[in-house]
Structure 1
Amino acid sequence: MTIVEPRPAPIGTEHVDVLVVGAGISGIGAAYHLRERFPEKSFTILDALDGPGGTWWTHRFPGARSDSDLHTFGYRFKPWRGPTIATAGEILSYLDEVIEENDLRGRIRHGHRVTAASWSSADQLWTVEVTRVDTGEQLHLTTGFLWMCQGYYRHDQGYVPSWPGTDRFRGTVVHPQRWPEDLDHAGKRVVVIGSGATAATLIPALAPTAAHVTMLQRSPTFFLARPRTHELATTLRALDVPEEWTHEILRRAHIAQGAELTRMSFESPDELRKFLVEEMRAMLPEGFDVDRHFNPRYRPWQQRIAVVPEGDFFAALREGRASVVTDTIDTFTETGIRVASGEELEADIVVTATGFDLSLFGEIAFTVDDEPVDFTERVTYRGLMISGVPNMAYVFGYFRNSWTLRADLVSEFVCRLLAHMGEKDASTVVPELRPEDAGMPLRSWVDPQDFNAGYVMRSMDRMFRQGDREPWTHMHDYVEEREMLPAADLDDGLTYR
C-alpha cells in the first residue's frame, strides 16, 4: 500500500469547510442550502466574473432573456413574481434578492479564477490554486469539500467555426457572448448565423431598428411560441392567491407540460413534429416554406425546443423586418456572405450565434495524490460526482427541463451527503465501482440518439463516461430524478473513510 505523506500548506493558505466554485444560479443555490442546513460550516464562493449570475452576467446582447419558464428556472425556495419568460436583467435582480435575503454577499469573491485543485489523501483536503483576475496574484485555499458550480460552457469566448474569407469582410463580426456595449446596429444590415435560442432572441430585438436582419441557418430548429406571462399566473394573481402557492402551482404546470412533450418525443415523435410545425406555420407569412426553414431533420426534443415569447421572432418575419436563409456558407466577401447557392447576403454586421464551447469543470487541472485526473477514464456517479475523485460534487442541469430544477436536487443531495458523513464521522467520501461493476460496459456521457446538440457532439472526446446501471448513469429527466435522487442509498457506490 502506498503511503501518502501530508504536505505543508502554502504559507498564508486560508481554509474553509466547503468551497463553491461559481456564483451563478447553481452556486448561489448551493450557498443557500449550505447556510440553511449547516450554519456552523464555513464556506466561500469563488467566481472569475465581476458579478454574480453566471450566464446572466455574461450575456449582454440585445434582448437577452430566459429560454425556460422562470417558475421552474427560479428556485423552489423563493417564489418567482415576474413574467414567465424573463429578461437577463430581471433574472439578475431575482438572484440579487436571494443573495441579500440570505446574507450571501460577503461569501462571494468575484474576479477569482480557480486554475488547479489538488487532493491529498493524507491531509484529507483539497488545495485550490486561485488567480486574481485583476492583479494576477496567486492565492491558495484548502477545503474539506469542493462543490463545482461553474456551469457548463466557457464564458470568455463562444464557439465560432472557421469560414473562408472572414479576414476580407469589411464589416463587424461579433459573437453574442462578447457583445460590445457601443455596437450600434440602427440602420445596419445584420446577418445572424445560427438558429437556436440566441438567434431567436436577438432577431426580434434587432429588427425594429436595423435596416434588415437575416437569419442564416445550416439547418432548422423547432420553435414554440408561448405567452410572456402564463395565463394561469394572470388568473391566480387576479384571485390574490399567495405568491408561494402561485409559484408551486405554476412549477407543477410547467413540469407536467414538459413531461408530456418529452413523452411524445419518444412515443409519438411524428405527432409532436406535426404539432410544432403547424404551430409555427400559423404564425408565418402566407406561402412561407415552412418545411425548408422550420422542419428539422432531428426528432423533436433531440435538441432543445426554442421558446419564443409572444411569437416575437415570427412577428419580425411577418412584418418583413427579418428573413430566413437555409444554406451553408461558401465564403465571406468584402460586403457580406456568399452561400452555397450563389446568393450573396449583404451585411454590415455579422453575428455568430453559433453556440458555445462546453467547459469540463472550468478547465481546472485536477490531481488526486499528485496524479492528474483524466476524466475521460472516469465514470459519473448519479451525474453529480466522479469515480475516484474524493469529496467533490458538481452540478450539471437538464437538457429538457430548467437547469435550476436539477441544481436544487443536487444541493439537497450534497447536503444529505455531508450530514451522512458527519453521522459516520467520516472525512472522505469517494465514488468507487462495486465488485459487481467489474467489466461494466462504459458509454459516452450522452447518448446522441437521446440528445445531439452541437456542443454535446463536439465535447464527446473530453468528457467523463457513464455506465449501464445505477448509480453510474445520468441525464435522467426531472420527473424521474425528483423521486430517484432523494431516495438514493448513500452507501451504494460510495466509500467513506
Structure 2
Amino acid sequence: MGSKKIDIVIIGAGISGIAAAYNIKNKCPNKTYLLLEGRDSIGGTWDLFKYPGIRSDSDMCTMGYRFKPWVGKKVVADGPSILEYLKEIVSENKIDQNIRFNQMVDSASWSTEKKEWSLTINSKNEQTTDHITCDFVVFCGGYYNYSQGYRPKFLGENDFKGQIIHPQQWPSTLDYKNKNVVVIGSGATAVTIIPSMANETKHITMLQRSPTYYIIGPEEDPLGNFLRKYTNDKLAYIVVRWKNILFSQWFFFNRARAQPKKVKEWLIDQVKNKLGPNYNIEKHFTPTYNPWDQRICLVPGGDFFDAINEKKATVITDHIERFTEHGITLKSGKLLEADMIITATGLNMEVAGDINIDIDGKNLDISSKMFYKSMMIADVPNMVVTFGYTNASWTLKADLTAEYTCRLINHIDKKGYDYCVAITDETIEEDGVWLDFTSGYVERAKHKFPKQGAKAPWTNTQQYLSDLFAVRYGRIKDKDLKFF
C-alpha cells in the first residue's frame, strides 16, 4: 500500500493512548491523528487480563482521568468497570473514529532531510504491510509485552498432571472448583486472584520466595460518598483525587524515603492487626527491603487476609525444588500438593514497545540515551514515550505526558519550527538507570532502560506535583530542548 501522511500517530489504545488522543483532539484541534492498536479492542491491560477478581491497584480517583470523573461507588474498581469507563470516553469523544485495530508497528524511522517519521505496520488480520508517514509519534503501548508474560521454567514441569496457568493467558472456561490450587508469586496479581478464588477452591496456597509489602485500603471512600450525596460528582472527584494524591505522594512515598523504618512498621502493623499475634508475620510478611524499593500492593478491604483467617488460603515462604506429578517439592523438603498451579510470576517489560527505531538510518539504542523529563529520549526528534509512575497511579503521569505533548506540538507550530529534539552532553552518572526499582520484572529489563542524568530535566523524580507544575506552567524551551 502507498504511504499516508498523518500529523500525529499514537501507538497503543490503552489508558495512555486514550489520554493522548483526548488531549490532542481538544488541544490540537487542527491536527490529524491516528491511533494504532495491536489488538482488536481498546483498553490495554483492562481488556487483556481476564483472571478472577482483576481490579485496579490504585484508587480510581487518581487512576481515572482528570477530565472524566470516576462516579463508581468503589474506589478500587474491577477490570470490567474500568474497561467500560474507557469505552465511554472513547465513544463520547469520537476517538474510535481515529483508531485502527490489529495494527502492529514493526519499525519507526526518522528522516532529518524529510523532517518526518516513517512507520512500517503489519496488519494481523489481513497479513499485509502498510507504511505511514507522520510529523510526530507518541508511544503509548504500556510497559510490558502483551503476548507473553514472564514464565520461568521449573524442573519437572512435564511431570505435573494438572494444569499450569499464567494469569496473562487465562482460559475463559477454567474450572478450579474444589481443587487444590497453588499460586506462585506474591505480587498484586497473586493477592487479587487468591481471595477471588478462595470461596470455590478446595484450598488455595500462595507460594512465595520472599515477602512483599501490602497496604490495606478501604473499598469505598467515605469522604467521596459524603460529597457525592451533598454536592456533585465532579466536586467529589476533584476533592478525593487531591486528597489521595497528597497522601500517596507527600505522606506515604516521601515519608517512606525519609523514614523507611517507621513506614515499614506501620505497614507490618496493619498485617498484624488483620492476622493476629499468633501468625508468623516475621517469616511471611516482613520484607528485607525498604518500602517503595518495590511497588506496594493494595489489598482493598483486607480480603486477602480474610481468606487466610478463614483457613481458605495459606501462605508458604520457600523455594521450589521441582514440580512433581502431584504438586511441588520445596527446598525445605515439603511436598505441596496441587491440582492446578498458577504462575503469577510477573511481566516481560518493554521500552517503547521494543519497536525497531532508527534515526537517519542509524539504529537507536535506547539504553545508551537519557530520558528528558521522563518523556523524550535524548537525540530523538518529535517523539514522546509515555511511562507512568511506579509509586502512584499510572494515569497521573500519562495525563501529564499527553498535556505536555500538546504544548510541545503547539509551540512548534506557533514558532514555525519543524521538529524538536532533547540534546545533552552531560556525563551520565554511574549506575544512572532511569527506573531505580528492585522488583524482579524491572531488574530483568534494566538493560533496556534509558539512563538518568544527575540533574533536572534528566532525572526521574516520581513526584506528581513537581511534574505538574513543570508540564503545565514551565517553559517549553530550555537549554536542553532544541528546535529546528
TM-score normalised over the length of structure 2 = 0.97
**1:438 CA displacement:** 4.3
Letter in 1 for 2:402: S
Equivalent position to 2:174, from 183, 188, 194:
183
Letter in 2 for 1:187: N
Q: Is the 8 A contact 1:401 1:477 kept in 2?
A: no
Q: Is the 8 A contact 2:428 2:451 kept in 1?
A: no
- 2:343 counterpart of 1:356: no
Q: Is the 8 A contact 2:391 2:462 kept in 1?
A: no
- 2:395 counterpart of 1:395: no
Q: What does residue range 83-122 of structure 1 map to in structure 2 within 5 Å? A: 83-122=74-113
Q: Is the 8 A contact 2:140 2:385 kept in 1?
A: yes
Q: Is the 8 A contact 1:338 1:344 kept in 2?
A: yes
Structure 1 counterpart SS, 2:257: helix
State the match for 1:7 in structure 2. none
Spell out, residue by residue over 1:336-391, the C-alpha distance to the aligned partner (whole angstroms, 9 max, x if none).
11111111111111111011010111121001111111112111111100111111
State the match for 2:414 in structure 1. 423
Structure 2 counterpart SS, 1:158: coil
% identical aligned pairs? 38
Equivalent position to 2:279, from 285, 288, 295:
288
| Change over 3 Å in CA distance of 1:298–1:408 after alignment to 2 | same
CA distance in 1, matches of 2:273, 2:312: 18
- 2:31 counterpart of 1:41: yes
**1:271 CA displacement:** 1.2
- 2:481 counterpart of 1:494: yes
Letter in 2 for 1:247: Y
Q: Number of aligned pairs?
A: 481
Structure 2 counterpart SS, 1:485: helix
Q: What does residue range 292-331 of structure 1 map to in structure 2 within 5 Å? A: 292-331=283-322
State the match for 1:481 in structure 2. 467
Spell out, residue by residue over 1:289-320, the C-alpha distance to the aligned partner (whole angstroms, 9 max, x if none).
01111111110121111111111111110111
Q: Which runs of 4+ in 1 moved over 4 A?
A: none
| Change over 3 Å in CA distance of 1:487–1:116 after alignment to 2 | same
**1:456 CA displacement:** 1.4
CA distance in 2, matches of 1:181, 1:113: 25
- 2:476 counterpart of 1:469: no
Equivalent position to 1:382, from 373, 380, 383:
373
State the match for 1:198 in structure 2. 189
- 2:406 counterpart of 1:410: no
Letter in 1 for 2:429: P
**1:446 CA displacement:** 3.6
Equivalent position to 1:445, from 417, 421, 433:
433
Q: Is the 8 A contact 1:18 1:144 kept in 2?
A: yes
Letter in 2 for 1:331: R
Spell out, residue by residue over 1:221-245, the C-alpha distance to the aligned partner (whole angstroms, 9 max, x if none).
1111111111111221232x11110
CA distance in 1, matches of 2:38, 2:430: 34
Q: Which structure 2 residue ranges, 5 or more long, are not aligned?
A: none
**1:123 CA displacement:** 1.0
| Change over 3 Å in CA distance of 1:406–1:217 after alignment to 2 | same
Structure 1 counterpart SS, 2:275: coil
CA distance in 2, matches of 1:366, 1:247: 40
State the match for 1:5 in structure 2. none
TM-score normalised over the length of structure 1 = 0.95
CA distance in 1, matches of 2:435, 2:360: 32
Q: What does residue range 107-256 of structure 1 map to in structure 2 within 5 Å? A: 107-239=98-230, 241-256=231-246
Structure 1 counterpart SS, 2:391: coil
Task: Compute the RMSD of aligned alpha carbons.
Answer: 1.3
CA distance in 2, matches of 1:477, 1:327: 36
CA distance in 1, matches of 2:16, 2:435: 24
Structure 2 counterpart SS, 1:36: helix
CA distance in 2, matches of 1:98, 1:129: 29
Spell out, residue by residue over 1:413-460, the C-alpha distance to the aligned partner (whole angstroms, 9 max, x if none).
111101110122111111111xxx444536433464xx3111111111
| Change over 3 Å in CA distance of 1:440–1:48 after alignment to 2 | closer
CA distance in 2, matches of 1:14, 1:46: 14
CA distance in 2, matches of 1:17, 1:481: 26
CA distance in 2, matches of 1:438, 1:84: 43
CA distance in 1, matches of 2:434, 2:386: 16
Letter in 2 for 1:489: R
- 2:449 counterpart of 1:458: no
